[in-house]
Amino acid sequence: MYNPLFLTATLLATSVVAKQCTNITVPVSISARNGVFNIPTLRGNADATTFAQNLTSIRGNFTEEALLGYATVTGVYDISAKFCKPETENGTNPTVQLLTHGLGFDKTYWDLPYNNFNYSYIDVAVDQYGFCTLSIDRLGEGNSSKADPLDVLQVPAEMSALYELTIMLRNGTLPSVPQAFNKVVHVGHSFGSTLSVALAIMHPTASDGLILTGYSQNGSYLPTTVASWDSKLARLNQPLRFGNISYSAVSEALSTLMPSASNLTELANALSRFNITVGEVQEILQTTDIGDLFAGIEPSKLPKAADLPPGYLTWTDAGSNQFAFLLPEFFDPSILLSAEYSKFPYTLGELLTIGSGPYVAPNFRGPVQIVTGRQDAVYCGGDCLATGDPALASIPAKSKMAFPAASAFEAYIQPNTAHGINLHYNSTGAYNVIQRFLKAQGLASS
Ligand SMILES: *[C@@H]1O[C@H](CO)[C@@H](O)[C@H](O)[C@H]1NC(C)=O
Ligand SMILES: *[C@@H]1O[C@H](CO)[C@@H](O)[C@H](O)[C@H]1NC(C)=O
Ligand SMILES: *[C@@H]1O[C@H](CO)[C@@H](O)[C@H](O)[C@H]1NC(C)=O
Ligand SMILES: *[C@@H]1O[C@H](CO)[C@@H](O)[C@H](O)[C@H]1NC(C)=O
Ligand SMILES: *[C@@H]1O[C@H](CO)[C@@H](O)[C@H](O)[C@H]1NC(C)=O
Ligand SMILES: *[C@@H]1O[C@H](CO)[C@@H](O)[C@H](O)[C@H]1NC(C)=O
Ligand SMILES: *[C@@H]1O[C@H](CO)[C@@H](O)[C@H](O)[C@H]1NC(C)=O
Ligand SMILES: *[C@@H]1O[C@H](CO)[C@@H](O)[C@H](O)[C@H]1NC(C)=O
Ligand SMILES: *[C@@H]1O[C@H](CO)[C@@H](O)[C@H](O)[C@H]1NC(C)=O
Ligand SMILES: *[C@@H]1O[C@H](CO)[C@@H](O)[C@H](O)[C@H]1NC(C)=O
Ligand SMILES: *[C@@H]1O[C@H](CO)[C@@H](O)[C@H](O)[C@H]1NC(C)=O
Ligand SMILES: *[C@@H]1O[C@H](CO)[C@@H](O)[C@H](O)[C@H]1NC(C)=O
């Protein structure tokens, strides 16, 4: 039967601008001078805690203490990426933004499916401002190749992969993207910003502009962050996603565990002896590592457990996630749970090298914009404006000295936002600030 309502909806849907995206897998050949560290194989969660104690000890620089020397790491690894371009590309000289996520995420950080993609950075950059984007799963994360979490997954090796991808974009050799880009901008979040800066130091002409989100060069608050994470082995924290569980084992576990675990009334009855309410049981299930234990369960679509080695770690639960990434009252509580259940690990090598210099990019000549949430705990200790120095507007503003040859430098402090910028209600406010900066610097698609 003819349905006018349906027709209207279809017309509306097709008139909306929509990005065109392609999923690609890119083999990259890396070569990097990595650190060689004296860290024992972690036998369980207690060793993850020992590592965190070492890293945060007042003894001093544990990276230095554990460093035995340097070694060149080479290899060919697959990088999983998503390339997006505007539905109608009019120009001949488009700009591509290479998007690198931080610790604890994969490339979906830039295109969160949450709430019908209402938080999507890519939608704003591509549909509203006409940029192209390449969002990548960093080496070792998401659908990219796994690698040794201590010897390989460090800043230099991951930067090497970023450099190779940049070169492919520039000379048009990226698989399924037959276009040579003259303008490549590097947009990072947190550890992804660290990699972009490392790129600008090692290969100053590889990038036309740096957008460093969730970033400063003040490492004073990294120990607090690491402590708050209460790190666990990823394979023990979310065994269904990161452990080594077979399909039949999961099916069996689901059939015996799920009826009682999913029926809160039954569970609350069982736990009533502890004098806790149904609401409290629900809170425990969702926000503690019990919630993580069940993350990945979709009875119709069981995950393929990644069998990650013990050097892949993750923060323990939603509370740790919130402490590092989110400002209360300014995020949707359900997005926290969604981020927690779909989180990705970080590695020993990343934690050992995240704070390692150099920090100055003397030969980088493009524009630099830092966009950090005012209440960022990781890089501002909870208040980017608390510099204690009237001459210094914000903690991230100090990085102006790190880019002495930059054509422009701006440190933008995003209000009512913590470290995980893209997860806050006003994330699109920050996205617009970034796109406008790039346009003002002559880096729009043309
Ligand atoms: C690309 O991968 C994402 C995530 O798996 C999926 O949702 C999407 O449909 C894929 N897109 C295409 C064009 O295959
Ligand atoms: C922690 O540091 C101690 C002292 O340097 C060292 O013996 C131990 O191997 C380290 N363990 C981990 C897991 O980092
Ligand atoms: C999407 O976000 C905008 C603000 O960025 C808000 O006005 C709107 O209500 C949101 N829509 C949904 C469905 O959450
Ligand atoms: C291409 O041109 C059309 C018509 O002028 C315009 O609506 C659209 O925004 C342009 N697209 C881009 C990416 O600039
Ligand atoms: C990663 O690959 C899996 C299995 O092919 C797929 O289900 C998932 O959607 C992919 N995720 C992304 C972000 O590409
Ligand atoms: C791509 O760029 C690299 C580095 O500049 C160069 O070595 C390589 O030959 C180029 N490949 C093509 C096909 O242009
Ligand atoms: C993972 O499971 C497979 C099959 O049971 C087994 O062969 C393998 O040794 C396991 N790996 C680890 C690290 O336990
Ligand atoms: C949950 O368990 C209670 C008590 O056993 C039962 O009455 C109720 O029907 C169950 N609910 C569901 C949704 O299975
Ligand atoms: C449960 O705790 C409340 C508040 O502390 C108390 O009033 C009540 O007596 C307790 N119930 C049981 C069964 O212990
Ligand atoms: C710690 O030591 C490493 C390795 O020597 C060095 O690269 C890094 O800059 C040091 N960190 C600090 C904060 O001094
Ligand atoms: C970090 O910022 C705080 C507050 O401005 C300052 O006291 C501290 O010295 C800074 N630390 C570093 C390593 O720059
Ligand atoms: C949202 O972000 C924009 C850009 O930083 C800012 O101008 C605006 O005041 C913010 N809105 C709120 C409600 O914080």
Ligand 3 centre and the CA of 133: distance in Å? 23
DSSP secondary structure string, 221-240?
GHHHHHHHH--EEHHHHSHH
Place of tokens 């399924």: 176
What digits encode the pLDDT tens for the residues 351-394? 999 998 789 999 999 999 999 999 999 999 999 999 999 999 99
Of 268-272, 287-291, 319-323, 352-356, the one with minimum mean pLDDT is: 268-272
Do residues 134 and 82 lie in contact, with contact meaning Cβ atoms separated by under 8 Å? yes
Q: Which ligand 12 atom is nearest residue 415's CA?
A: 14
Q: Is the pLDDT of residue 3 over 50?
A: no
Q: Is the pLDDT of residue 202 over 60?
A: yes
pLDDT band at 68 (very low <50, low <70, confident <90, very high): very high
pLDDT band at 252 (very low <50, low <70, confident <90, very high): confident
Nearest to 428 by CA among 141, 152, 123, 196: 123
Q: Is the pLDDT of residue 279 over 60?
A: yes
Q: Give percent of the chain with pLDDT exceeding 70.
A: 92
Do residues 49 and 230 lie in contact, with contact meaning Cβ atoms separated by under 8 Å? yes
Ligand 6 centre and the CA of 164: distance in Å? 10
- Indicate which ligand has the atom closest to the C-alpha of 269: 8
Give ∠ CA 165-205-359 in degrees, rounded to 5: 90
User: Ligand 3: residues within 6 Å at CB?
Assistant: 115-116, 118, 428
Pairing of strands 67-85, 132-136: antiparallel
Do residues 119 and 70 lie in contact, with contact meaning Cβ atoms separated by under 8 Å? no
Arithmetic mean of pLDDT, 284-311: 81
| Mean pLDDT of the residues in the chain | 91
Distance CA 153, CA 216 (A): 22
pLDDT band at 1 (very low <50, low <70, confident <90, very high): very low
Q: Whose CA is nearest to atom 14 of ligand 11?
A: 218
Look at 387 and 256; give whichever has higher pLDDT. Answer: 387
Distance CA 390, CA 408 (A): 22
pLDDT band at 16 (very low <50, low <70, confident <90, very high): low
Do residues 128 and 138 lie in contact, with contact meaning Cβ atoms separated by under 8 Å? no
pLDDT at 167: 98
pLDDT at 267: 72
Of 109-118, 161-170, 261-270, 311-320, the one with minimum mean pLDDT is: 261-270
Q: Does 86 sit in the ligand 4 pocket, CB within 6 Å?
A: yes
Place of tokens 């995003």: 414
Do residues 303 and 240 lie in contact, with contact meaning Cβ atoms separated by under 8 Å? yes
pLDDT at 7: 31
Nearest to 210 by CA among 421, 48, 411: 411
Neighbours of 85 (CB within 10 A): 21
Distance CA 263, CA 259 (A): 6
C-alpha neighbours within 13 Å on the C-beta side of residue 24:
21
Arithmetic mean of pLDDT, 70-95: 94
Neighbours of 390 (CB within 10 A): 6
- Indicate which ligand has the atom closest to the C-alpha of 34: 10
Of 6-20, 70-84, 426-440, the one with minimum mean pLDDT is: 6-20
Pairing of strands 132-136, 95-100: parallel
Distance CA 25, CA 78 (A): 6
User: Ligand 10: residues within 6 Å at CB?
Assistant: 61, 63-64, 67, 219, 355-357
Q: Is the pLDDT of residue 12 over 50?
A: no
- Indicate which ligand has the atom closest to the C-alpha of 95: 4
Q: Whose CA is nearest to atom 5 of ligand 1?
A: 23
Q: Does 56 sit in the ligand 11 pocket, CB within 6 Å?
A: no
- Indicate which ligand has the atom closest to the C-alpha of 266: 8
**What pTM was estimated for this model as a whole?**
0.91
Ligand 4 centre and the CA of 178: distance in Å? 21
C-alpha neighbours within 13 Å on the C-beta side of residue 328:
3
Nearest to 95 by CA among 180, 188, 198, 192: 180
Buried b (16+ CB within 10 A) or exposed e, 119-128: bbbbbbbbbe
Distance CA 11, CA 222 (A): 51
pLDDT at 8: 32
Structure tokens at 332: 């949707």
pLDDT band at 303 (very low <50, low <70, confident <90, very high): low
pLDDT band at 259 (very low <50, low <70, confident <90, very high): low
pLDDT at 317: 97
For ligand 2, mutation pick of 41, 47, 50, 226 (most atoms within 8 Å of CB): 50
Ligand 5 centre and the CA of 89: distance in Å? 27
28's enclosing H/E stretch is strand 20-37
- Indicate which ligand has the atom closest to the C-alpha of 359: 10
Q: Does 247 sit in the ligand 7 pocket, CB within 6 Å?
A: no
pLDDT band at 2 (very low <50, low <70, confident <90, very high): very low
Q: Which ligand 5 atom is nearest residue 23's CA?
A: 14
Q: Is the pLDDT of residue 11 over 60?
A: no
320: Cβ contacts below 8 Å, ≥ 6 apart = 228, 229, 230
pLDDT at 70: 98
Structure tokens at 427: 């994330």
pLDDT at 264: 63
Look at 305 and 57; give whichever has higher pLDDT. Answer: 57
Distance CA 107, CA 121 (A): 11
What digits encode the pLDDT tens for the residues 108-159? 999 999 999 999 999 999 999 999 999 999 999 999 999 999 999 999 999 9
Q: Is the pLDDT of residue 14 over 50?
A: no
Q: Does 167 sit in the ligand 6 pocket, CB within 6 Å?
A: yes
What type of residue is 422?
N
pLDDT at 282: 79
Ligand 3 centre and the CA of 290: distance in Å? 31
281's enclosing H/E stretch is helix 278-287
Q: Is the pLDDT of residue 30 over 60?
A: yes
Distance CA 427, CA 430 (A): 5
Ligand 11 centre and the CA of 129: distance in Å? 36
Using alpha carbons, list the distances in angstroms from residue 187 to 84, 100, 118, 148, 162. Answer: 15, 6, 20, 26, 11
